[in-house]
Amino acid sequence: MQSETILEGVLLKRSQQKKKISPANYKERLFVFTQRSLAYYDFDKEKRGCRKGSIDIKKIRCVETVNPEECTPVERQYPFQIVYKEGLLYVYATNQENRRQWLETLLKEIKDNPFLLNKYHPGFFTNGKFLCCNQSCKTAPGCAIWEPYNTLRDPSNSKEHLPGNLKPKRPSLPPIPGEGKSSLGIAVAEHDYGPQDKSDISLMKNQKYHISSDKDPDWWKVGDADGKETGRSEDTSAEKERLQDYEWYVGDISRAQCEQLLRQKGKEGAFMVRNSSQVGKYTVSVFSVAVENKSGAVKHYHIHTNSENKIYLAQDHCFDSVPKLIIYHQHNSAGLLTRLRHPVSTKAKKVPSTAPLGNGPWELRRTDIVLTKELGSGQFGVVQLGKWKGEYDVAVKMIRESSMSEDEFLEEAQVMMNLSHPKLVQLYGMCTEKYPIYIVTEFMSNGSLLSYLKDHGKELQPFQLLEMCYNVCEAMEFLEHHQFIHRDLAARNCLVDNDLAVKVSDFGMGRFVLDDQYISSVGTKFSVKWSAPEVFHYSKFSSKSDVWAFGILIWEVFSLGKQPYELYDNTQVVEKVSQGYRLYRPQLSSEEIYEIMCSCWNELPEQRPTFHQLLSWMESFREDDSDDRP
Ligand code: 746
């Protein structure tokens, strides 16, 4: 069945750079947009040739302009992007009007799509990272609000049903690309908007405003379109920037995540301030041990505004700004459950990707690292928390002599340093000139996933468990794509970050272990319970044997850190698994998730799914789950 063409035209298409780093190329394609798909074709004298690709319109999640790259030729002045379930397409319109027409038409057709995004990337993804935010994962969540989302989802009738991170944040200002010199673009106000405090300017419906700064994803600095005076839109930059500076301000996190972090802190008066589901409002969340008998409770207080535009938690105590209000309540409970005693933060100082790291390509100065606390010991020795250059948290593996095959490791280190993904624990560098050798990595404040599940698993909801597995799957898909085998994937070798994101650690490190008990498949330290049959029989490692281990990891997560095949020793596991015996379905796992685990445990490696497939299956469950989120 053919569906009717809505819009058709020749546009320049940028190659999709499926490999992480490959040069971009640009081809003219005939784009045909129907009610079903956006397809693009070869063409010859306007005649449609071979179909080169097609996107199902139901899978489109965002269509928006892209900031043009510097020094672009004329034919690439009007880029726009189509974000869809499996990818990201960049297309260049022929002129401003042509781009507006495409965007408007696309938007009209996708407006009821179920999984529209509320954030997008204003910059191109080029050479392995987004120019706007430097994130290196092509599927990384957007870093700027996608305004049409708010317009499409009428906040007045639907926001209660949306998951926290999709809730509209402020009145809509749909961006219209501008040509002004000192302006980043022009915005047209959709509604009248009255000032909320004295730093606000009022906005008039249909009036144009220049955007003079879009640094903050949530707020624009705007002036009137004549460019006369640059005022500030809404409660804005100054205030917002100040909020960001406080450790207690955590921005957009879900209620469940917030409660999890506060309970985990476990201290009377642990608190944080987060964005409320209401436009431009904030919520103060506080933990108190003194209520609900033993386990304590988290209370959420909305910051209210009175008729004089002052804000308050307790009516008798009003302030002009959130920081002032918080400072007051740090000293006075004034009607709250407890005073705000212990700020809980999701911010940790991580080494920025732009930081110059050291002398050689990986050598760090030992004197730049101050070791502060022992974190535990691993196969190579003690691991310490450290501060690099007095500022950044790092984890330091102090390599015990004769525990590691160092020459082989150093040969491979450059490859590992270049494996950079938000869900892989980043290797920063090494100090190799004397013993103990230091291996310096990103620091993950919540320790190993296994211990986290054992200590805190009961506090997590199933969607959070799924999210943890999804994080691991993202990292593993990246490794699979780079043909890099982990060889020892298990919950004990994953780490939990301060925001509860899970990252994969110690990938490929098993190859450098000098310990027969670890290497030999009959050794006491060999991970038999995570090994595929071809691994424990013939040491045949592959991405498919990583997939087997991933199935076991999902089982560990949904069993909250139980030991797999609890009642069997390694020899019995080899025997049972070879006979076709598999782990049972953990109580917290749905049938669908159990099916995913079982697919990872197919006896034949080639019949197991790839991580790429797993990621898309899990993604569909994530979406189904999102209704359960608070
Ligand atoms: C860390 C690791 C990876 C090992 C041992 C000890 C600590 C570690 N902990 C971190 C962290 O951010 N990083 C590392 N394991 C290994 O070194 C290892 C070596 C080789 C292998 C496996 C593992 C192979 C066998 C695969 C070759 C922590 N973070 C943060 C906090 C705490 C512990 C660790 C990068 C902690 O003390 C929070 C957790 N906690 C207690 C309080 O609650």
Higher pLDDT, 404 or 390: 404
Q: Which range, 136-140, 321-325, 373-377, is most confident? A: 373-377
Could you identify the atom of ligand 1 that is nearest to the CA of residue 373?
Answer: 37
Could you identify the atom of ligand 1 that is nearest to the CA of residue 397?
Answer: 17
Higher pLDDT, 106 or 621: 106
Contact 506, 487 (CB under 8 A): no
Pick from 110-119, 198-207, 288-297, 509-518: least confident: 198-207
Contact 218, 193 (CB under 8 A): no
Q: What confidence category does residue 128 fall into, taking pLDDT thresholds of 50, 70 and 90?
A: confident
Is the pLDDT at 127 greater than 90? The verdict is no
Higher pLDDT, 358 or 476: 476
Per-residue pLDDT, 146: 87
Is the pLDDT at 215 greater than 80? The verdict is no
Per-residue pLDDT, 239: 55
257-260 CB contacts, 8 Å cutoff, 24+ apart: 257/464, 257/499, 257/500, 258/285, 258/298, 258/300, 259/285, 259/298, 260/456, 260/459, 260/460, 260/464, 260/500
- Which among 344, 371, 375, 553 is the best mutation to test ligand 1's pocket, defined by most ligand atoms within 8 Å of the CB? 375
Higher pLDDT, 620 or 385: 385
Give the distance (Å) from ligand 1 centre to CA of residue 445: 9
Of 488, 497, 506, 546, the catalytic one is: 488
Per-residue pLDDT, 375: 98
Neighbours of 525 (CB within 10 A): 13
Per-residue pLDDT, 19: 56
Q: Which residue, among 106, 173, 178, 108, has the nearest Cα to 144 in the 3D structure? A: 173
Q: What confidence category does residue 175 fall into, taking pLDDT thresholds of 50, 70 and 90?
A: very low
Per-residue pLDDT, 576: 97
**Quick one: average pLDDT of 159-178?**
32
- Which among 261, 371, 380, 397 is the best mutation to test ligand 1's pocket, defined by most ligand atoms within 8 Å of the CB? 397
Number of H helices, E strands in the chain: 15, 31
- Write down the mean pLDDT value for the chain: 83
Contact 475, 419 (CB under 8 A): no
**Quick one: average pLDDT of 238-255?**
79
Give the distance (Å) from ligand 1 centre to CA of residue 140: 25
Contact 358, 394 (CB under 8 A): no
CB-defined site of ligand 1, < 6 Å:
375-380, 383, 395, 397, 425, 441, 443-447, 488, 493, 495, 505-506, 509-510, 513
Contact 491, 454 (CB under 8 A): no
Could you identify the atom of ligand 1 that is nearest to the CA of residue 487?
Answer: 26
Per-residue pLDDT, 227: 42
Q: What pairs with residue 297 in β-bridges?
A: 288
- Say what percent of the chain tops pLDDT 70: 81
Please, what are the domains in the chain?
5-153 (2.30.29.30), 184-236 (2.30.30.40), 248-343 (3.30.505.10), 366-442 (3.30.200.20), 450-628 (1.10.510.10)
Q: Which residue's alpha carbon is at the smallest distance from atom 20 of ligand 1?
A: 379
**Quick one: average pLDDT of 11-28?**
77
Give the distance (Å) from ligand 1 centre to CA of residue 376: 6
Regarding beta strands 427-431 and 494-496, do their DSSP bridges make them parallel or antiparallel, or are they unpaired?
Answer: unpaired
**Quick one: average pLDDT of 108-128?**
87
Q: Which range, 7-21, 121-135, 147-161, 501-515, is most confident? A: 501-515
- In whole angstroms, give the CA distance from residue 611 to residue 591: 20
- In whole angstroms, give the CA distance from residue 316 to residue 321: 15
